[in-house]
Amino acid sequence: MSTIGVLALQGAVDEHIRMIEKSGANAIAVKRVSQLEEISGLIIPGGESTAVRRLIDKYHFFEPLQAFAKSEKPVFGTCAGLILMGRDHLRLMDMEVERNAFGRQRESFEVKLRVKGVAEEVEAVFIRAPLVRAVGASVDVLSTYNDETVAVQEGNFLACSFHPELTDDLSMHRLFVEMVENACTV
């Protein structure tokens, strides 16, 4: 059984761990760089992207996260994690992201989205959510909301603007567990 880590610098770490375990994989909170060697996939959770980036730098995660990604191990970013995976930060995915595109905290909302290859209705919670404004040719758009890109995949990298961990819908986490299991068999 695969072990998936959740970067535990800020955000809904426990919620992601719960969803991964319900999806059939082991999960751990990653608090030290050395723990990256123990896992087969990584989730970068939501939170405040500027704060998480500062913590990534402070605890010397930047280069190890890039090396982890280059080793073909899957990475899943949600909300702030999506921002950090883009061109302006970790550069894991060829995408340009706009922070807080849906407005402030009070404009948060929940909808059901069609996610290509996953489900016709995936529960999605948007909280100060970013948008993917542009993608490179190798990035597959999995979902849109009001004609705006909110979920993408590029090889072993998956990212969404919303918080799937704040619902009971396991669709996105099951997709990621499947990606990790497939990467382990290669």
Q: Which residues are part of the catalytic machinery?
A: 79, 163, 165
Q: Which residues neighbour 18 within 8 Å (Cβ) at sequence distance 6 or greater? A: 165
Alpha helices (H) along 71-170: 80-85
Rounded CA separation 82/144 (Å) = 15
CA distance 168 to 66: 31
d(CA 112, CA 65): 31
Q: Among all chains, which residue has been given the structure tokens 């849109």? A: 144
